[in-house]
Amino acid sequence: MKRKVIAYNLELTEALEKLDDQFKVQIFDSINPKTDPAFLEALKDAEGIVGLALPVDQELLDRAPKLKIVSNNSTGYNNLSIEVMSKRGVMGTNTPGVLEDTTADAIFGILLASARRIAELDHFVKSGNWQGHLTTAEYAIDVHHKTLGIIGMGKIGSAIAKRAHLGFDMDILYHNRTRNLEAEEKYHATYCNLDTLLKESDFVCLMTPLTPETENLIGEREFKLMKKSCIFVNGSRGKTVDETALIEALEQKEIHGAALDVYQIEPVKKGHPLLQFPNVVTTPHIGSSTYETELKMAELAVENLRAGLTGKLPKNLINPEVLN
């Protein structure tokens, strides 16, 4: 009898074909993992889980006594209770090194879209409001030769800095837990404290992982420090920003606008206040959402899972302490 594996919100099922020879794969999509009876039944015999954004906590682990590995189909893994998993002997893996360029394209893209009012003016044309030459009411702002402040200069932050500096002649300020000497050398990035970055940047781009230290990192105080001409860009996680403070900053015109790919609660409900601002670009967490990149991530997630279930060391093991 084949061993059981659960695939959760993994749409690219062609990546799962490599498991067919040894494992019985049960696929679940768009279900409530707390209440779905078929999912809860499958947990009883599942040895592995591969997928996206499944909350793996004590409750789920109690329902999955045979579980050996959870393979996250993402770089982030804040949905995994790593400490609890390690105590239970359950490996956790992720998929780094795949999505950096794709995500940087998307985040710099929404920065451009906000500055040049691309989505807003697309609607302007399609609504039949373009009757002649543009007036100052339709003018946008330049991106080139401005200052971009990046909070979180990891691989994606560095890829954004590359596009900004080499492509748009932007000056780069950055704030990070540690210095990124490569970014300083290649893109002339200047390391500074957070307050200096907020005060001096024309664009503030938040790219930190979500941790207890970064939750609500940007709030009322931080928005007040930004230039009134500043555009705020969030490509990290929704909970790194106090959305109430962001809404107030937009209402009070403390900042010029925003470009958001992530939100505190996803998907965003239709009546959310952030959706009412014409100067806010909103995309549905598209960072890595190209077919090529999503397939690479899914294949790596499956590779990690297969390794963990066949006695090999997964390439991207998050909690090596579990081996002890």
Cα Rg, the chain, nearest whole Å: 22
Separation CA 173–CA 196 (nearest Å): 9
| CA–centroid distance for 6 within its chain | 23
- Return the closest-CA partner of residue 11 out of 268, 255, 289: 289
Using CA atoms, how far residue 170 sits from 40, 111, 116, 203, in Å, is: 51, 13, 16, 10
C-beta of residue 161 within 8 angstroms of C-beta of residue 189: yes
- 306 carries an active-site annotation: no
Q: Given 117, 175, 237, 256, which residue is catalytic? A: 237
C-beta of residue 190 within 8 angstroms of C-beta of residue 149: no
Phi–psi pair at 200, nearest 5 degrees: -105, -10
CA angle, residues 135, 139, 143, in degrees to nearest 5: 160
- 237 carries an active-site annotation: yes
The DSSP bridge partners found for residue 132 are none
| CA–centroid distance for 35 within its chain | 27
C-beta of residue 69 within 8 angstroms of C-beta of residue 49: yes
Separation CA 277–CA 168 (nearest Å): 27
- 100 carries an active-site annotation: no
The DSSP bridge partners found for residue 234 are 206, 260
Q: Given 256, 285, 294, 306, which residue is catalytic? A: 285
Q: Given 41, 182, 251, 266, which residue is catalytic? A: 266
As annotated, the active-site residues are 237, 266, 285
